[in-house]
Amino acid sequence: MTSTSDPQAALAARFDQAVKALDAAPAFAKPARVQRVLDTARKLLLSEGGCAAIAARAEAIERAGLFHGSDWAAPQTLVPTLSRASLTAADANTVLIEAISELRLLAVARGRYEHELISAEHAHHHLSQVLAINLALLFHPPDEAQRTRQGRLAELPRRVLQHLAGEIGYEHVIDELIAEIWRILQQRPIQTGPVRQMITQIAICQADPAIDLGASGQGADRLISSLFGPTHGCREDPGLDVYRARLETMDAGTLQFEAGGFARAMHDTGLVSPYHPVLIRFLLTHSDHLLAEALGLSATGRDCLLCYRDLVQALIETAVTPDTAQAVYGLALLLERGILYQQPLAPALWRQLGLELCPAARTKLVLAFGEQVEPGAHLLEGVLCMLGQPLGVGQGNNPTCQSARALSMWAYNDPDYLLQMVTWAARDDEIIMHFEGQALSSRNSGEGVAAEAPIDLDPVSLIVVPHLDRIYAEMGRRCADRSGDPHRWVNPEFHGWWSGRGFRINVDVASGKIADLEDFLRHFYASYHPYYNGNQPLIHPQPAGIAITDSAARFIGWHAITILRVALDPTKIMRVYFYNPNNDSGQDWGDGVTVSTSGNGERHGEASLPFEQFTSRLYIFHYDPLEHGELAGISRDELDRVSGYLRRSWGAERWPEAAESTVDGGLR
């Protein structure tokens, strides 16, 4: 029996009863039982030890169906940046659901709850970001506005966050956060908003004398200064107007020092300070030499700047403002790529500068980015960033990896085609593509893969992806009555002529079982491995499909990526370098297969794996059927190692019965 002298135990017992009642209720009656669980959870969470009690019951809570039918039912898709709005909401149930969900992820991260949808590493990563976004809530008691809005519940978010920080390791929260920021920046994403929020929160905490960070946070200075004071002229973050006035009094030597400082900070982090556009616009009428210095250009970029001086000036005047600061980095990398020398690019960008946006495009851009600057300036910023950082495109929290991959591939390989797509979508609110000679209109196509219009995207993706998504789905519907995987026909038509017409898949579509594995592996080696394809480098990026697994090597789902190149890394290991549109390429796929994003010869935005490990997660690829590699040259040991990785991961439950007699997962 529970002693009445122990209030916390009594609350826990009442909570257990509420959870059991919810679990026992039939589906139609569960909504009525949820409120009792939340009411008792509120009292338990506000008691001493309540957070630990909820975390210890995470599996039972989820199994009972508390999250069923809500966004929290799919923890792998939760967005950390939305946690602050949920934790500070006026609606008590929203606060409680968010708090219980975070404690559930804590149980997963600590290995106390093996969740089928999210790995321990993913949960830990999510919680680190949640703590980063909510540093103010973690270190400060609720203010008057929060207390007025939430009443006594206002104390609950801080209790939960303190428990999370204490479990993860309070002294390491800031240091882990800084390491995480650098890891993300190494991949050079186009969307830098979440990282900027994290850095801002660290800066606020460091500046607050009431917050003692101890020895942690020492590596944050470079990140904070890159946003708020990259150079001597703005070191103390004086404000944009003050800095603009200071520029008027600087001599040539001081201006050069400022230009070099901004360029180093930008290329070091991939972040652009709001002060940087102020300098860029000032130098536009003062010195081309210093303008090139401020952009951090090499000889290639400088030549491109001088050849297209009028165009660059127009792009800066329209797109480069403190509110669209990342346009500076996009422009610099665009010039460094030298793609303006491709004949269609300059006239296409002039067209973009004068583009009249349709009402639908303007509305989307205003909803996503506000009205501080013209919607067209935000779109042009997105264009510059995508052309400069084709591997920085992310799909957001949306099942649109195919469309994100297409945008990245066009920016990487066919930039004038990308600009044509942007024009059609932004001006006409329609894109027309062709599938086997038949015109497909995004306006007349049915629903796409995404159930709702994506909003958490860069400006170009925001406008173009909904159209591409509908067309991609329509192409799939056109192949519905064909045997085999529809990507065989869809990918070359959707992505471009350079996608190989040869196609291999190692899964039987009807049964889901592994099929023709040895033929699949030999063809992939013969098509892509330099030792077996005559040392022929990959000329055009190629679409491919992988089976994503979690850190326990369990199958999660199919995913679209782009194979960019195959080469020896600095340690002479043959690696596949690829683009992954899922916003963060560094992942642990289990069984020793850990995706690398830096340190193994990767360029910004690339992910890589040793050839064997990559091949073990591959399930479809394209190739040129007229290129003949050495099918017979691949050794049995090498094939067996690849198939071993496959069988120990996503192929475990897909292995055909006929192969059960093989030894150690090898091929016979």
- Identify the domain boundary among 168, 198, 214: 168
Q: How confident is the model at residue 668 (pLDDT cuts 50, 70, 90)?
A: very low
Instruction: Tell me whether residue 551 is in a domain.
Output: yes
Q: How confident is the model at residue 663 (pLDDT cuts 50, 70, 90)?
A: very low
- Identify the domain boundary among 287, 314, 341: 341
Tell me: do 28 and 140 sit in the same domain: yes
Query: d(Cα 621, Cα 102) in Å, to the nearest integer?
Result: 38
Q: Are 557 and 521 in contact (CB under 8 A)?
A: no
**Neighbour-count burial for 125-154, b at 16+ CB within 10 Å, e otherwise:** bbbbbbbbbbbbbbbeebeeebeeebeebb
Per-residue pLDDT, 1:
42
Per-residue pLDDT, 215:
64
Query: d(Cα 67, Cα 579) in Å, to the nearest integer?
Result: 33
Q: Are 656 and 515 in contact (CB under 8 A)?
A: yes
Instruction: Tell me whether residue 668 is in a domain.
Output: no
For the cut 80, the answer to whether the pLDDT of residue 304 exceeds it is: yes
619-659 tens-digit pLDDT: 999 999 988 788 878 889 999 999 999 999 999 889 886 44
Residue whose entry in the numeric block shows the structure tokens 């995207």? 457
Q: With 0-12 CB in 10 A as exposed, 13-18 as middle and 19+ as buried, what is 380? A: buried
Tell me: do 14 and 162 sit in the same domain: yes
For the cut 50, the answer to whether the pLDDT of residue 596 exceeds it is: yes
Q: Are 80 and 126 in contact (CB under 8 A)?
A: yes
Query: d(Cα 558, Cα 544) in Å, to the nearest integer?
Result: 10
Residue 47 tokens read as 């008691």
Residue whose entry in the numeric block shows the structure tokens 């991260």? 109
Residue 637 tokens read as 């040991």
Tell me: do 520 and 629 sit in the same domain: yes
Mean pLDDT estimate for the chain: 90
Phi, psi at 358, each rounded to 5°: -70, 160
The domain of 252 spans 229-341
Tell me: do 119 and 32 sit in the same domain: yes
What's the average model confidence in pLDDT over 429-456?
87
Residue 210 tokens read as 């009431």
Q: Is 584 helix (H, G, I), strand (E, B) or coil?
A: coil
Q: Is 594 helix (H, G, I), strand (E, B) or coil?
A: strand
Instruction: Tell me whether residue 636 is in a domain.
Output: yes
Per-residue pLDDT, 149:
76
87-126 tens-digit pLDDT: 988 889 999 999 999 999 999 999 999 998 898 988 988 8
Instruction: Tell me whether residue 549 is in a domain.
Output: yes
264-299 tens-digit pLDDT: 999 999 999 999 999 999 999 999 999 999 999 999
Query: d(Cα 613, Cα 48) in Å, to the nearest integer?
Result: 48
Q: With 0-12 CB in 10 A as exposed, 13-18 as middle and 19+ as buried, what is 576? A: buried
Instruction: Tell me whether residue 601 is in a domain.
Output: yes
| Helix (H) or strand (E) segment spanning residue 575 | strand 574-579
Q: Regarding predicted confidence, which is higher, 324 or 661?
A: 324
Residue 81 tokens read as 């940046």
For the chain, the helix, strand and coil percentages under 3-state DSSP, each to the nearest 5 = 60, 10, 35
CA atoms within 13 A on the CB side of 132: 27
For the cut 90, the answer to whether the pLDDT of residue 158 exceeds it is: no
Tell me: do 414 and 460 sit in the same domain: yes
Q: Within 10 A of 328 (CB to CB), how many other CB atoms are there?
A: 29
5-53 tens-digit pLDDT: 577 788 889 999 999 999 998 888 888 889 999 999 999 998 889 999 9
The domain tally of the chain equals 4
| Helix (H) or strand (E) segment spanning residue 623 | strand 618-623
59-97 tens-digit pLDDT: 999 999 999 888 899 898 888 888 988 998 888 999 999
What's the average model confidence in pLDDT over 146-163?
84
Tell me: do 518 and 546 sit in the same domain: yes
What share of the chain in percent tops pLDDT 90?
Answer: 68
Tell me: do 353 and 314 sit in the same domain: no
Per-residue pLDDT, 657:
66
Tell me: do 316 and 349 sit in the same domain: no
Partners of 502 in the β-ladder: 623
What share of the chain in percent tops pLDDT 70?
Answer: 94
Torsion of CA 113, 114, 116, 121, to 10 degrees: 100
Q: What is the pTM of this model?
A: 0.83
Please, where are the H alpha helices in 82-231?
A: 83-87, 92-109, 120-133, 135-139, 144-150, 155-168, 173-186, 193-207, 221-228
Per-residue pLDDT, 74:
87
Tell me: do 472 and 571 sit in the same domain: no
Per-residue pLDDT, 510:
87
Per-residue pLDDT, 659:
46
Helix axes 401-413, 415-423, angle to 10 degrees: 130
521-568 tens-digit pLDDT: 999 999 999 999 999 999 999 999 999 988 778 888 899 999 999 999
Query: d(Cα 271, Cα 185) in Å, to the nearest integer?
Result: 8
Torsion of CA 618, 619, 620, 626, to 10 degrees: 70
Instruction: Tell me whether residue 192 is in a domain.
Output: no
For the cut 90, the answer to whether the pLDDT of residue 2 exceeds it is: no
Per-residue pLDDT, 661:
36
Which residues 6+ apart lie within 8 Å of 529 measured at CB? 566, 574, 611, 629, 634
Phi, psi at 437, each rounded to 5°: 90, -10
Residue 388 tokens read as 């400069």
Give the distance, in angstroms, between the CA of residue 259 and the centroid of all CA atoms in the same chain.
31
Partners of 432 in the β-ladder: 441
Of 349-358, 480-489, 551-560, which gets the smallest average pLDDT?
A: 551-560
Tell me: do 140 and 265 sit in the same domain: no
Tell me: do 512 and 554 sit in the same domain: yes
Q: Regarding predicted confidence, which is higher, 517 or 211?
A: 517
Per-residue pLDDT, 143:
63
Q: Are 646 and 590 in contact (CB under 8 A)?
A: no
What's the average model confidence in pLDDT over 193-215?
78
The β-bridge relationship of strands 542-549 and 438-441 is unpaired
Instruction: Tell me whether residue 158 is in a domain.
Output: yes
Residue 665 tokens read as 């997962």
- Identify the domain boundary among 341, 368, 400: 341
Q: Within 10 A of 539 (CB to CB), how many other CB atoms are there?
A: 10
What's the average model confidence in pLDDT over 440-464?
87
Tell me: do 468 and 520 sit in the same domain: no
Give the residue from 311, 312, 310, 307 showing the smallest Cα distance to 294: 312
Instruction: Tell me whether residue 608 is in a domain.
Output: yes
What's the average model confidence in pLDDT over 147-152?
76
